[in-house]
Homo-oligomer: A and B are copies of this chain.
């Protein structure tokens, strides 16, 4: 009978002790037998404003020591019947964005070949492009839940086609995602023209700008997404800057008037039951997060995503 990995309990070892793995789960050196792999992609060379996300995985792991294995809000217990481990960080090349994106793609091909669900801690958002390439290679074009302050559909930045601001145009062009099963939630701020958002609507993307969500319960949107996507494989990419800077100051390109953490949880809770094939949480920049609370929030959102993976039950 499978012995499922469990986080170290807070009464077994003081929370400030133990391995610096996600939730103090065991560190796995092999993918053998895993259902889910939590991993880090410590990179910040794809970012255009404040850097620092290279320390994101380390800090998210550190703050995740506070999280216990059972979700009081919805009764989910992901460690009851999924084998989950932290497999460490991808060995990216910190001096080359292009090379790092290649490494990510190759690493994900390996993970997906083992039918393991990867849950990544960024790193800047540029990591999601090679991830989606691997996802599409495995599953065909995927549905996408993209929670973010920015649509990230630029054509280029400084002449570069692959940065943290061009990910979803590339994903659309390369048919990595299903356009009318692509949802962009929380986008806002300033831009250059209406087409910054509307062009993607023309491709089929469904957009929920933050200003339509202020003071709202996001459960309904979550339900709508679930019904629209049905059983199609879905990838969730969560940019921490979707949250208001009051809730998540530690990020590279903050935009005011964003979502709240209650809204984030309402949304994720409502996605339970979908065919989630992977997810990421990106853009946590510890140098701008002295309290550690942005990383704590990121750790919790990752845990909430674990709680809605296929096979997780409630008790």
Measuring CB to CB, which residues of chain A are less than 8 angstroms from any residue of chain B?
9-20, 27, 40, 42, 44-52, 54-55, 57-58, 61-62, 66-73, 75, 88-89, 91-98, 156-160, 163, 187-194, 196-197, 209-211, 214-217, 244-247, 249-250, 253-257, 260-262, 264-266, 287-288, 290-291, 293, 296-297, 300, 303, 315
A72 close to B209 (CB less than 8 A): yes
Chain copies in complex: 6
Q: Which of A47, A54, A187, A262 has the most CB of B within 10 A?
A: A262
Please give, as numbers and ranges, the residues of chain B lying within 8 Å of A293 by CB-CB distance.
245-246, 249, 254, 256
B96 close to A160 (CB less than 8 A): yes
- CB contact under 8 A between A42 and B70, given known A50-B287, A254-B296: no
A93 to B265, CA, bound (A): 34
A64 to B245, CA, bound (A): 15
Q: Which residue of B lies closest to A163 (CB)?
A: B95
- CB contact under 8 A between A66 and B253, given known A73-B188, A158-B95: yes
B27 close to A19 (CB less than 8 A): yes
A67 to chain B, nearest CB (A): 5
- CB contact under 8 A between A157 and B19, given known A190-B303, A262-B214: no
A–B pairs, 9, beta carbons within 8 Å: A12-B91, A19-B19, A19-B20, A44-B51, A194-B315, A211-B262, A245-B291, A245-B297, A290-B291
Please give, as numbers and ranges, the residues of chain B lying within 8 Å of A58 by CB-CB distance.
16-17, 20, 62
Please give, as numbers and ranges, the residues of chain B lying within 8 Å of A13 by CB-CB distance.
89, 91
B16 close to A42 (CB less than 8 A): yes
A16 close to B191 (CB less than 8 A): no
B68 close to A191 (CB less than 8 A): yes
Please give, as numbers and ranges, the residues of chain B lying within 8 Å of A11 by CB-CB distance.
156-158
Please give, as numbers and ranges, the residues of chain B lying within 8 Å of A217 by CB-CB distance.
214-215
A70 close to B19 (CB less than 8 A): no
With A18-B88, A72-B209 known, 10 other A-B pairs at CB within 8 A are: A14-B94, A16-B57, A19-B27, A49-B66, A50-B287, A68-B190, A68-B192, A70-B192, A72-B189, A95-B160
Please give, as numbers and ranges, the residues of chain B lying within 8 Å of A194 by CB-CB distance.
70, 72, 75, 315
B57 close to A54 (CB less than 8 A): no
A238 to chain B, nearest CB (A): 13
